[in-house]
A and B are shown apart, each in its own frame.
Chain A
């Protein structure tokens, strides 16, 4: 018995509200007043949040095994013939339908909830900016795309949302499009994401030809015979021994989908666009590039967890890429001076943690970290926006300092978020990160060690940021110093709410070893495939001694990271400049972000440009040169030839006739002088000759006359 209720029936309204206001803004937004824009755009996201809350509440009223609702609105792509890899021909169809299960519940609440807070914050932050309606129009369009992505009941509709968020990300990174760096960053994000999307769409196609469907599951649909899903098809293939764990096709699908995830979720090697994406307005960085869009890859992998569980090789790849990205990005965050860049590398690093969790099979832990990260990273970005707002646009932490007393609300909420990300119990980040590290330890101690070191680096760079920004003496110039002010209420209230969430958000996943019951993992359990059940059952029986030891180790390294940052930037017992000076080469490599951008430029970007130049040369030389110019030359040559023929043969014959006649007429021509008197004289002379010749006859005439 599937749960029912008003909000579940009207699931499709959740993405529709932001779409309606987005179209309103982009069509007639220019003529609306700012207050109307705020009311419509923030209001629609608020209504979406309310509907999402209602829908999830109604979903929760059902027993756990029945918590899935699926509505197909209409058939989106009409059935067409598709040749399966098994040789059968089946109709392929894609519908426009929404799926609400525990996994999408978490996502839809995070997206609408955090999204709503960030929208409220944007009223204050973007209040003095031009293009206010444009900003909110794009933001609402983003909300629509993101909600389509998380609520989609099939891969193709998910891909629509996936591309939609990519488009909005591009539009919003390049929001200040008059700035060259901003529009470049937008293009970079878009192009890098295209590479990942190519993998994703290949994964979708391979899934379609393997399983004959792209719908995630048939659960919640009445007619299961006509409405199969990937889960059911996979189960069928397993029981029929058509597929087995580790089958090459499953590994290929998993890896192709993961390529898509590395693009969207900024993992090695496609992470390069995210730091540049900080050119966008800060609320955009908070919403899209920290809390929601970049986690789409994590969500997608969890959504396909049934396939991943059967592809151990792909899982190992995901885990290794995740953990390497985590430590790689964290090391770059250590030396950045731009407040938003530090947070951007931190985001990449935390996303690495999430993929580490997915790679070791702890899908619930990955989603758990996704949620807590959304809270504290959104808070950090919004806090950073508030700091930038207070500092009149300054983003360099070397030029800040001493802001603790000046902007108390921002500073305190920022501090809470920093504690949360550093992994200090009992804040949100501790539980999620600790669970990931615990599960990584079970999989392989090496993964744990790297993640453990990253945790220490995280604590260090975050506290470096806090100490340089809020403590010590101010290094700002006089002009900026005079203008320091706390942000308006619309900005500080979202900060406070997010701070509360950053504290308590982790409590729903309170681990069993600490007298909790990990409600969160139980909640997500129905979504998780049973294929790897034996493995996870074994995992539950870990010794609690190891777990306590790992927890203590996590806390210890977090405290150590904070202590080192304190000694470096607060007491100045070690001068950071001295340490940097001692390891000059290493520092320079870190500061230049391992020269990855330069290497990519040299390897791919410039080669692509060379190819373009080469093709341009071919176009100019061969197509234009030989083809167009050659044809032109040929036509000119032909016409020259024809002109010569015309002139010398056709006209020549005529002229020859004329010349010949002229030659013949040579003596007679001189008689014709054109002068009247000559003719008159000739007439007279002629008359005289005639008269003289007929003299005798004249006599006769004259005689007769007489």
Chain B
């Protein structure tokens, strides 16, 4: 069995890739996909610790997060489509309505 550090490293790598994606990409769809990566990094951590401590609750949490991610993707894409209909753009730097 691989030591926990490898899992954590994979999770960290996924998290960093996702975070960089969220901060740097302009396309909201890509940002959503990056968020999925972050969620998956969390899942890996949960599952890894679940195995480590022999406690199945962590895996249950991971399943919840997967369901949550699916719902979130559906809602997010819905918002993006609605937004696109209004503004004809999916680029996040043009979505500056929150300002002031």
Genuine A/B complex: yes
Chain B residue at smallest Cβ distance from A669: B100
Among B4, B24, B26, B96, which residue has its beta carbon within 8 angstroms of that of A674? Answer: B96
Residues of chain A within 8 A of B1, CB atoms compared:
none
Chain B, residues 7-51, CB within 8 Å of chain A (1/0): the string is 000000000000100111110100100000000000000000100
Task: Tell whether A680 pairs with B98 under 8 Å between CB atoms, given A675-B92, A705-B49, A706-B4.
Answer: no
Contacts of A705 in B (CB 8 A): 4, 49, 52
The verdict on B88 contacting chain A, using a C-beta distance below 8 Å, is no
Asked if A696 is an interface residue, CB under 8 A from chain B, the answer is no
Give Cα distance in the complex from A672 to B25, angstroms: 19
Q: Is residue A684 contacting chain B, with contact meaning CB distance below 8 A?
A: yes
A570 to B18, CA, bound (A): 136
Q: What distance in Å separates the Cβ of A679 from its nearest Cβ neighbour in chain B? A: 8
Chain B CB within 8 A of A681 CB: yes
B residues less than 8 Å from A673 (CB atoms)? 96, 99
B92 touches A677 (CB 8 A): yes
Give the residues from 628 to 678 in chain A that come closer than 8 angstroms, CB to CB, to chain B: 669, 672-677
CA distance A674 to B98 in the complex (A): 5
- Alpha-carbon distance A669/B100, docked complex (angstroms): 8
Query: Which residues from chain B contact A674 at a C-beta distance below 8 Å?
Result: 95-100
- Minimum CB–CB distance for A614 against chain B, Å: 68
Do residues A681 and B96 form an inter-chain contact, with CB atoms below 8 A? no
In the bound assembly, the distance between CA atoms of A698 and B58 in angstroms comes to 20
Total residue contacts A-B, CB cutoff 8 A: 39
Distance of A327 Cα from B26 Cα, bound (Å): 118
Q: Which residue of B22, B52, B97, B99 is within 8 Å of A677 (Cβ)?
A: B22
Closest to A676 in B: B92
* B98 x A672 contact (CB < 8 A): yes
Please tell me if the beta carbons of A672 and B95 are within 8 angstroms of each other in the complex: no
Asked whether B23 lies within 8 Å of A684 as measured between CB atoms, the reply is: yes
The smallest C-beta distance from A705 to any residue of chain B, in angstroms, reads 7
Bound Cα distance A491, B23 (Å): 117
Tell me the residues in window 225-265 of chain A with beta carbons closer than 8 Å to chain B beta carbons: none
A671 and B30 alpha carbons, distance in the complex (Å): 24
> Inside 8 A of B22's CB, which chain A residues have their CB?
677, 680
Q: Is the CB of A675 within 8 A of B23?
A: no
For B97, the chain A residues whose CB sits under 8 A away are 674
Q: Considering the chains assembled together, what is the distance between the CA atoms of A677 and B52 in angstroms? A: 35
Q: For residue B100, which residues in chain A have a CB less than 8 angstroms away from its CB?
A: 669, 672, 674
Query: How big is chain B's contact interface, by range?
Result: 10 to 19
Chain A interface size, as a band, is 10 to 19
Cα–Cα, bound, A676→B26 (Å): 9
- Say whether A677 contacts B98, CB under 8 Å: no
* B31-A684 in contact (CB<8A): no
Interface centre among B23, B25, B96, B99 (most CB of A within 10 A): B23
What residues of B have a CB within 8 angstroms of the CB of A675 in the complex?
A: 92-93, 95-96, 99
Residue of A nearest to B92 (CB): A676
With a 10 A CB-CB cut-off, give which of B25, B26, B49, B98 has the most chain A CB atoms: B98
Known contacts A669-B100, A672-B99, A684-B23; A677 and B93 CB within 8 A of each other: yes
Interface residues of A in 288-333 (CB under 8 A from B): none
Task: Write the A407-444 contact mask toward B (1 if CB under 8 angstroms, else 0).
Answer: 00000000000000000000000000000000000000
0 or 1 for each of A673-695: is its CB under 8 Å from B? (1 = yes): 11111001100100000000000
CA distance A685 to B28 in the complex (A): 21
| CB-nearest residue of chain B to A684 | B19
Interface flags, B78-100, vs A, CB<8A=1, else 0:
00000000000000110111111
- A669: chain B residues within 8 A (beta carbon): 100
Q: How far is the CA of A624 from the CA of B88 in the complex (A)?
A: 61
Instruction: Give, as a whole number of angstroms, the nearest-CB distance from B1 to chain A.
Output: 15
Q: Which residues from chain B contact A684 at a C-beta distance below 8 Å? A: 19, 23
Q: Smallest CB–CB gap between A645 and chain B, Å?
A: 30
CA distance in complex: A675, B52 (Å): 40
Residue of B nearest to A681 (CB): B23
CA distance A676 to B90 in the complex (A): 12
- Report chain A residues within 8 Å CB of B31: 676-677
* A674-B99 Cα distance, complex, nearest whole Å: 4
The CA of A677 and the CA of B96, in the complex, are separated in Å by 10
Inter-chain CA distance A677–B34, complex, in Å, is 12
Q: For the complex, give the distance between the alpha carbons of A706 and B92 in Å.
A: 40
**Distance, CA A680 to CA B4, complexed state (A):** 29
Measured CA separation A676–B25 after assembly (Å):
10
Tell whether, in the assembled complex, residue B23 and residue A677 are in contact, meaning their CB atoms are under 8 Å apart: yes
Cα–Cα, bound, A676→B79 (Å): 15
Q: Which residue of B lies closest to A685 (CB)?
A: B23
Of A672, A676, A681, A705, most B-chain CB atoms within 10 Å: A676
| Chain B residue contacts of A676, Cβ below 8 A | 28, 31, 92, 95
**Measured CA separation A279–B40 after assembly (Å):** 114
- In the complex, A706 Cα to B53 Cα: how many Å? 9
| Cα–Cα, bound, A669→B22 (Å) | 23
**Closest chain A CB from B55 CB (angstroms):** 12
Q: Across the interface, which residues of A come within 8 angstroms of B95, CB to CB? A: 674-676
CA distance A510 to B19 in the complex (A): 143
Distance in angstroms between the alpha carbons of A681 and B31 in the assembled complex? 13
CA distance A706 to B49 in the complex (A): 9
Min CB gap A606→B, angstroms? 77
Complex-state Cα separation, A118 to B31, whole angstroms: 112
- Cα separation A684 to B38 with both chains bound (whole Å): 12
The complex places the Cα of A132 from the Cα of B51 at a distance, in Å, of: 123
Closest residue of chain B to A679, judged by CB?
B98
| CA distance in complex: A677, B19 (Å) | 10
In the complex, residue of chain B having the shortest beta-carbon distance to the beta carbon of A677: B23
CA distance A674 to B100 in the complex (A): 8
How far, in angstroms, from A673 to B19 measured CA to CA in the complex?
19
Q: Which residues of A contact B28 (CB under 8 A)?
A: 676
Which A residue sits closest to B97, measured CB to CB? A674
Give the docked Cα–Cα distance between A684 and B16 (Å). Answer: 10
B92: chain A residues at CB < 8 Å are 675-677
Closest residue of B by beta carbon distance from A682: B23
Q: How long is the Cα–Cα vector from A409 to B52 in the complex, in angstroms?
A: 150
A-B contact pairs, 27 of them (CB 8 A): A669-B100, A672-B100, A674-B95, A674-B97, A674-B99, A674-B100, A675-B92, A675-B93, A675-B95, A675-B96, A675-B99, A676-B31, A676-B92, A677-B22, A677-B24, A677-B31, A677-B92, A677-B93, A680-B19, A680-B22, A680-B23, A681-B23, A684-B23, A705-B4, A705-B49, A705-B52, A706-B4
| The 9 residue pairs across chains A and B that have the minimum distance between CB atoms | A674-B99, A674-B96, A674-B98, A676-B92, A681-B23, A680-B22, A680-B23, A675-B93, A677-B23
Q: Which residues of A contact B (CB under 8 A)?
A: 669, 672-677, 680-681, 684, 705-706
User: Other than the known A676-B28, A705-B49, what 17 A-B pairs have Cβ atoms closer than 8 Å?
Assistant: A672-B98, A672-B99, A673-B96, A673-B99, A674-B95, A674-B98, A674-B99, A674-B100, A675-B92, A675-B99, A677-B25, A677-B26, A677-B31, A677-B93, A680-B22, A684-B19, A705-B52
